[in-house]
Amino acid sequence: MACPPWPKGKKLVHLDLKGAPPRVEYLHKLIELFSQLGVNGLLVEYEDMFPYEGELKLLQSTAPPAYSREQILSMQECAKSKGMEVIPLVQTFGHMEFVFKHRPMWSLREVPYCVGTLNPHKEEGVKLVMEMLRQVVKMHPGLNTLHIGADEVYILGEGEESKLWLASPGRTVEQLFLSHVTKVAKAIKEAWPHMTIIMWDDMMRGMSPDILKASGLVGLVQPMLWDYTPNLDVDKTVSLLEKYCSAGMSDLWVASSFKGSTTVYTCVPSTQRHVDNHLQWLKVADSLSAGVNLQGIALTGWQRYDHLSVLCELMPVALPSLVSCLQTLSHGHFNAEAQNKATESLGISSVEVEEMEKTSASDSLFPGRRLAELIVELNALLNSDDMRLFDNDMFVRGWFSPYHRRRKMVTPLITMQIHSQASTFLTTLHQKADAMREEMVRFYPDSTVQEWIEEHVSPVMGPLQRITEEIRACVKEMVP
C-alpha cells in the first residue's frame, strides 16, 4: 500500500568526501542535479579533505590533496545559489580514524588498538574537537547547523582512565558517553549560541528516557536515527523515535542510504535495495505521533565504511539509485510514474545502473554517465567466473597445476592454449581498465583512481599475469 509523500522537512544528500573526493567542477554539476531533484541541503563529511590549519595541519590529506579554502567556499556558494543549506559533519567521539592514525594524536585514543575512539577523560581531547569545529565553522559563513557525529564509539569504557571512572558506584558506559557528548554540545552552544546540533543516535538506542533526561543533553542536540537496511523494522524504529520524543527530544532527524551500505566493498549499487529502504522510511514517517517534530531526512552515500576501509560505490554509478530514492520520497511509492520520472531526469532506460542501455543522451542529464557505464562493464568482467576462477578452469587444473609448475613438466600444446586464453583476458582487462582510468581522472584525483584499480583490477589481473609468465618459463624447458 502506498504511503503519503515524505512530510515537510529537509531532504539532505550526504557527501562523504573520504577517499573519493570529487573534483570541484564535478561537485558543482552534482549540486545542480540535486537541486533539480528537490534536494534542499547537503550533509558534508570532509574528514581529511578539509584544509585544517596550525597544529591541525597534519590532519590534511596530501594524496589526494585536501580541498582549498577557495574550493570549499565555491562549493558553498554553488549550493546556496540553489537554495541548499550546507551542514558540515565533524566527528567528535567515534570514527576519528583520520585524526588518531597520526602519531602525535595517539595519546588521545581511548585504547591504543582502537584508532577511531577518543578518550573522553582528557581535556586535550575536548580542545582538539573544539578546534576542529572552530576551523570548520569559520570556513562556513552564516552556518546554522552542525552535525557532531558520535556514532559507533567502539571500545568505550575499555581504556584505563575509563575503567577507573567506571569503578565508582552507579557509573555506566552510557553515562560516560552522554557526559562527553553533553560537554561538547555545551561548548558549541557557548561558542555559537544560535547553532543547531545534530548527532547520530545509535549509541543512545538502548538508553531509557530517564537516563537521557538526566544527561543534560535534552534541548542541546537533535538525534538523527539511521537505518540503511531494505527490511528496516518499522515498528521498532517508530518506538525508538517516540522514545526520544518522550525524553524531551522531539526535534528528530532520520537517515536512509542510497549507496555505500550494502557491503564494505560493493562497486555497483542495487537501486531496488535502496528504494526498499526508503519505502520503509515512508511507513515510519506515516506512523509517527503528532508530537514528533521530524526535521528531515539525510540520504547517506558512504564512500568508505570508515577512514581505513576500502572504497564503496563511487557517486556516478549511484546516481540512478539516488534519483530513484528521491522520487520514492516525493511520490510515497515507486510505481511506474515514479520510475519514469527517475529515468527521464537522468535520460536513462533503467533505474538499475547495470541495465542501462547506452544512448547518446547529453551527459548534462547524468553527470559522470560514461564513467558509470565503464565501471559497470569492468565490474561485470572482474566478477565473471571466467576471470575470477581461471585457476579452476579444467585445463589449468588438469594440465597446469601447482605440481606441474614446480616441476616444469607440462604439455606444451595445452599450456599454450591456456596462455592464449589468459592473454586474451589480460588484453581485455587492460583495455577496459585504461578506458575507465582515462574517464575517472576527469572526476576524481589520481590517487582515488589508483586505489580503485589496485583494489579491484590488480587482484584479478595479477594471477593471470603470473600464469602467462609461468607457462612461458615451463614451455622453454619442454620445447627445443
The DSSP bridge partners found for residue 223 are 199
What pLDDT, on the 0 to 100 scale, is given for residue 391?
82
Q: What is the DSSP string of 343-378?
A: HHHHT-S-SSGGGPPP----GGGSTTHHHHHHHHHH
* Overall pTM > 0.85: yes
Which positions are catalytic?
152
Q: What is the pLDDT of residue 236?
A: 98
- Note the pLDDT tens digit of each residue in 143-193: 999 999 999 999 999 999 999 999 999 999 999 999 999 999 999 999 999
Q: Tell me if residue 475 falls in helix, strand or coil.
A: helix
pLDDT band of 359, cuts 50, 70, 90: low
Contacts of 2 (CB under 8 A, 6+ apart): 331, 332, 333, 335
What is the average per-residue pLDDT within 8-28?
95
Judge whether 346 and 395 are in contact, CB under 8 Å: no
Count the neighbouring beta carbons within 10 Å of the beta carbon of residue 458. Answer: 11
Q: How is residue 4 annotated by DSSP? A: P
Say which DSSP state 453 is in. Answer: I
Of the two residues 114 and 355, the one the predictor is more confident about is 114
Average pLDDT over residues 304-312: 95
% the chain with pLDDT above 90: 83
What Rg, from alpha-carbon coordinates, does the chain have? 25
What digits encode the pLDDT tens for the residues 53-104? 999 999 999 999 999 999 999 999 999 999 999 999 999 999 999 999 999 9
